[in-house]
Amino acid sequence: MQKNDSIPSELRGRQHIDFSNFKYEDTVRSTKLRAQFGQEVEKLSNAIAKSLFQKVQPIKSKNTGKSKINIGEGIEELLLLAKEYEEVRKKMPSGNSRTRVMENIVSKMKSVMNDPLSNLEIWTTSKSAGERLLAIAKLQKFPNTEYLNWLAEHVGDSEKPFIGYHSAIALYISSRTFGKDNKNVVENIIKNAQANIDRYDFKDPNQVEVLKAAINELK
């Protein structure tokens, strides 16, 4: 078989990993299989991150009058994490292991962020799911009333469940932060978020519960 030179060298030896070899029932019962599965997940995640590290560069802004990328705040690492989220979501099978890897990515994003506003406007309007996740992570760490409606628009089926869930978490944090002085405004926005979930047949129970908790914070 001819090699695909477009595949990063770090991933060429791992591109045909078949996680279906880890049958659910066998893996649950076997400590050894669970350990092996965890090792494969960790190796794949590390390979993805390594392959992306050399590729991700800050976007150089043109003089168009639009917001410019702030190259401070560890921007290269943040963009790398955004790409890593997208690659993990694409290459790993859905399930608890993938969710744990993605949660770890969000934690790393927040640990790097040190400015409440840097690049927020750019990320909230980005077509990249990873960059929108950067915006949501920032709004969890630095709640901002100007972006509550944006968060409400990103729950439900308009986003993948993981991003929708973290949007709901950001709204919950905002309800605790701003609810005392802006109860009616925050409550109406959270109700709009609940309405966005209700528009779709699939209603992520995690998002539903988080938004209920956010409403309860206002009582």
Q: What is the pTM of this model?
A: 0.71
- What token pair was written down for 159? 């986003």
- What token pair was written down for 104? 């770890």
Q: What is the pLDDT of residues 119-148, one digit of tens each?
A: 999 999 999 999 999 999 999 999 999 999
- Best CA proximity match to 138, nearest among 180, 82, 89: 82
Q: What is the pLDDT of residues 179-204, one digit of tens each?
A: 999 999 999 999 999 999 999 899 99
**Domain residue limits, the chain:** 1-115, 143-219
What radius of gyration do the chain's Cα atoms show? 19
Report whether 187 contacts 157 (CB < 8 A). no
CA 103 – CA 165 distance, rounded (Å)? 11
CA 146 – CA 217 distance, rounded (Å)? 20
Q: What is the pLDDT of residues 151-160, one digit of tens each?
A: 999 999 888 9
